[in-house]
């Protein structure tokens, strides 16, 4: 047994930190976890979970309207923001409790407080110095808002879930998946919604055809898309409304402005610099393949290393680290290239592997299969929403190297197909798979003619 208070001290009880702590404790490691906010981190409290609940709420409004085509009439439909907000709070509180029990039952010591690194093997929390053989930093990220006049009047994803009242006029600033998802939520709940992005088109890094198709469908939902512009300043009126001046000189009057312009690693004031931990210009901790920082006893994973900011990735990194330190020693790394991803805009996006642009750069020849159709339900729902499905195949091997979808339940469909693609499925494997009829998903196994 080492002469330290703990074998492993984890700073941050989000998805990655909790998974690492529990797995290590199960192997007999003496573990302590410190958290100064809520258990579960971003995902549980101000990320994936509440966001998906709000997406569900916004979709109900659309489905009620579409039901008219099927003879389902609901003449008196209203939305109560307080009910959604407060029911969400109850669910998050339940999940916080589950995380606490998981940690306690695993044998971890749970500390409520902000921990800072004071040396290679020591931290300070609640005025007490605690030593550990290894320190794991898993503090996640924090929303970034650019420094513009009136930035104090904007909110971020940290505050958006608990607004006192529902805004009727909303501006969402940003071009990433968080911005698009929240624009869909507000618009679906009948708010007048505008999305402002400084670039030519949102979702940079996604397949170009997916980006263009999504823009068309999002606009079809009533969201005003303002590209190649930005917010210059925000002023608050006496009645609480906001005058938002854009870079092109135009002024919008809104009730709420939400900034979803990215998240940065939450490494400020953690004592990492004084401990000698190397970080990049964004504040992300630099680590090697086994999540070890420039200080051998200090490790980091999850959003704080800014590789792929997704909860399942943090979980995979945690399992890899614990196996490396306390298990077999191999600690298989996550496959960062083949990560199935969903964007819960409306309609949803599901994606895995290479974009068409990436595939053409990497391979001598690729075959592209695309299907663009109106889903069966919308033949009588009255909705003009369309679905896009796309397969990218390396010609020489017939292997599927990219798969993309924009449409209802895209995330659910892509999760299953991801198993096949990661296992090395070829286009022939897809062709000889019998589809489930009638479903949208069957289109993935019935695309026979190359689009290009």
Tell me the pLDDT tens digit for each residue of 345-382.
999 999 999 999 999 999 999 999 999 999 999 999 99
Compute how many other C-beta atoms are within 10 angstroms of the C-beta atom of residue 26.
Answer: 14
CA distances from 250 to 147, 169, 228, 230, 244 (A): 20, 16, 13, 10, 8
Q: What is the pLDDT of residues 214-264, one digit of tens each?
A: 999 999 999 999 999 999 999 999 999 999 999 999 999 999 999 999 999
Instruction: Give long-range contacts, CB 8 A cutoff, 24+ apart: 124-133.
Output: 124/271, 125/34, 130/5, 130/6, 130/9, 130/32, 131/4, 131/5, 131/6, 132/4, 132/5, 132/6, 132/7, 132/8, 132/9, 132/32, 133/2, 133/4, 133/6, 133/7, 133/8, 133/297
DSSP assignment string, 152-182: GG-B-TTTGGG-SS--SEEEEE-SSHHHHHH
Query: CB of 400 within 8 A of CB of 425?
Result: yes
pLDDT value for 75: 81
Which residues contact residue 422 at a Cβ distance below 8 angstroms, ignoring those fewer than 6 apart? 335, 338
Give the mean model confidence (pLDDT) for residues 178-204.
Answer: 98
> For the chain, what percent of residues have pLDDT higher than 70?
99
Predicted TM-score of the model (pTM): 0.95
Structure tokens at 137: 């930093």
Catalytic pick among 38, 290, 378, 437:
437
Q: What is the pLDDT of residues 79-137, one digit of tens each?
A: 999 999 999 999 999 999 999 999 999 999 999 999 999 999 999 999 999 999 999 99
Does a cis peptide bond (omega within 30 degrees of 0) precede residue 347? yes
Residue 1 — pLDDT band, cuts 50, 70, 90? low
Structural domains of the chain, ranges and CATH numbers in brackets: 6-142+264-326 (3.50.50.60), 151-261 (3.50.50.60), 347-445 (3.30.390.30)
Q: Give the number of other CB atoms < 10 A from CB of residue 332.
A: 11
DSSP code for 98: H
Confidence band (pLDDT; 50, 70, 90) for 413? very high
What whole-number percentage of the chain has pLDDT above 90?
95
Q: Note if 324 is an active site residue.
A: no
pLDDT score recorded for residue 308? 94
Between CA 364 and CA 25 the distance in angstroms is: 49
Cβ–Cβ contacts within 10 Å for residue 224, how many?
15
Residue 74's pLDDT band (boundaries 50, 70, 90)? Answer: confident
């Amino acid at each position: 047994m080492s002469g330290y208070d703990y074998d492993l001290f984890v700073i941050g009880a989000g998805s990655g930190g909790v998974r690492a702590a529990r797995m290590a404790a199960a192997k007999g490691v003496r573990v302590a976890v410190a958290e100064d906010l809520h258990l579960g981190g971003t995902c549980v409290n101000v990320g994936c979970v509440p966001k998906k609940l709000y997406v569900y709420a916004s979709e109900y409004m659309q489905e009620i309207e579409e039901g008219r085509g099927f003879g389902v009439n609901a003449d008196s439909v209203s939305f109560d923001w307080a009910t959604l907000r407060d029911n969400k709070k109850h669910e998050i509180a339940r999940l916080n409790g589950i995380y606490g029990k998981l940690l306690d039952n695993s044998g971890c010591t749970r500390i409520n407080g902000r921990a800072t690194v004071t040396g290679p093997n020591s931290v300070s929390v609640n005025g007490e110095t605690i030593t550990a053989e290894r320190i794991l930093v898993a503090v996640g990220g924090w929303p970034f808002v650019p420094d513009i006049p009136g930035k104090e009047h904007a909110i971020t994803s940290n505050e958006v879930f608990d607004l006192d009242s529902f805004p009727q006029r909303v501006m969402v600033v940003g071009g990433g998946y968080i911005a698009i998802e929240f624009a869909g939520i507000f618009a679906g709940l009948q708010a007048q919604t505008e999305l402002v992005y400084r670039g030519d088109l949102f979702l940079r890094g996604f397949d170009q055809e997916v980006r263009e198709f999504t823009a068309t469908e999002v606009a079809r939902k009533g969201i005003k898309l303002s590209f190649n512009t930005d917010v210059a300043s925000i002023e608050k009126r006496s009645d609480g409304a906001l005058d938002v001046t854009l870079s092109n000189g135009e002024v919008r009057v809104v009730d709420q402005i939400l900034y979803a312009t990215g998240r940065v690693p939450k490494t400020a004031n953690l004592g990492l610099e004084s401990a000698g931990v190397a970080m990049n210009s964004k504040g992300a901790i630099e680590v090697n393949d086994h999540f070890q920082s420039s200080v051998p006893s200090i490790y980091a994973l999850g959003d704080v290393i800014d590789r792929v900011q997704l909860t399942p990735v943090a979980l995979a990194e945690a399992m890899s680290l614990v196996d490396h330190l306390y298990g077999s020693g191999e600690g298989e790394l996550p496959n960062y290239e083949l990560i199935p991803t969903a964007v819960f805009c409306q309609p949803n996006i599901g994606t895995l592997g290479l974009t068409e642009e990436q595939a053409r750069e990497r391979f001598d020849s690729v075959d592209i299969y695309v299907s663009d159709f109106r889903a069966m339900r919308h033949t009588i729902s009255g909705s003009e929403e369309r679905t896009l499905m796309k397969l990218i195949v390396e010609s020489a091997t017939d292997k599927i190297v990219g798969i993309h979808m924009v449409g209802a339940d895209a995330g659910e469909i892509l999760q299953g197909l991801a198993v096949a693609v990661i296992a090395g499925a070829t286009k022939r494997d897809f062709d000889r798979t019998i589809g489930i009829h009638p479903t949208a998903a069957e289109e993935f196994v019935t695309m026979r003619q190359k689009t290009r």
